[in-house]
A and B are shown apart, each in its own frame.
Chain A
């Protein structure tokens, strides 16, 4: 039974660039949530996708956008990257928006 997978593992970008991160949910899960985890902090909720729509959104600017595909996989896009966007980006999947969330290994984004 495959767990949550994320790609790429690591990514280095420069300020102003755009990035796309990908997530495949755990088998049988239909909901994907994205989190940002800065060094030394707990994960912070970015948004959640269910039925291919953004269901909830945290306190993140419009530069952060996402998408969910019919197979429940998801992408996180960040435009106009800032140095402060450097973080571990985590994807979590669940069976429905309110069920227990299981996390992937994360994508480490470094913005230079």
Chain B
């Protein structure tokens, strides 16, 4: 997925349903992962983060799951609302390396 973009993977979800947005990463040394939400014309907004010593972390209506074996990260949004429509980015870093953003996913909520 990617930014406010033209050819993003798109996930369409009915309002009230749960959403799952997936992200694969390639650097096995990555030890910090973060999800951002970006609405059109705005900067990325922090949602939730997780470190590699955990495999699950919950926030308000959101859960991040980390599977280090297959290098996979997911963001689950419960009871998706129209205001959740945006582009979602995962990002990773390792040690002293800067954040590397994945290609975003556009979430469209159908009312």
A103 to chain B: which residues have CB within 8 Å?
Answer: 36, 43-46
Which of A37, A45, A58, A100 lies in contact with B34, CB distance below 8 A? A100
Size of chain A's interface in residues, with CB distance under 8 A? 24
Identify whether the interface residues of A are mostly helix, strand, loop, or mixed: loop
Identify whether the interface residues of B are mostly helix, strand, loop, or mixed: loop
CB pair A56 B98 closer than 8 Å: yes
Within 8 A of B (CB), among A27-72: 33, 37-45, 48, 56, 58
CB pair B44 A45 closer than 8 Å: no
CB pair B34 A39 closer than 8 Å: no
Which of A41, A48, A101, A102 lies in contact with B3, CB distance below 8 A? A41
Give 30 CB contacts A-B under 8 Å.
A4-B43, A33-B99, A37-B3, A38-B3, A39-B5, A40-B2, A40-B3, A40-B4, A40-B6, A40-B7, A40-B8, A41-B103, A42-B2, A42-B91, A42-B101, A42-B103, A42-B104, A43-B89, A44-B101, A45-B100, A56-B97, A97-B96, A101-B34, A101-B99, A103-B36, A103-B43, A104-B43, A105-B42, A105-B43, A106-B42
Given A42-B101, A42-B102, A45-B99, 17 other A-B contacts at CB below 8 A? A33-B98, A37-B3, A38-B3, A39-B3, A39-B5, A39-B6, A40-B7, A40-B8, A42-B103, A42-B104, A44-B101, A48-B98, A90-B44, A100-B34, A100-B46, A100-B49, A103-B45
The interface of chain B, by Cβ under 8 A from chain A, is 2-8, 32, 34, 36, 42-46, 49, 89, 91, 96-104
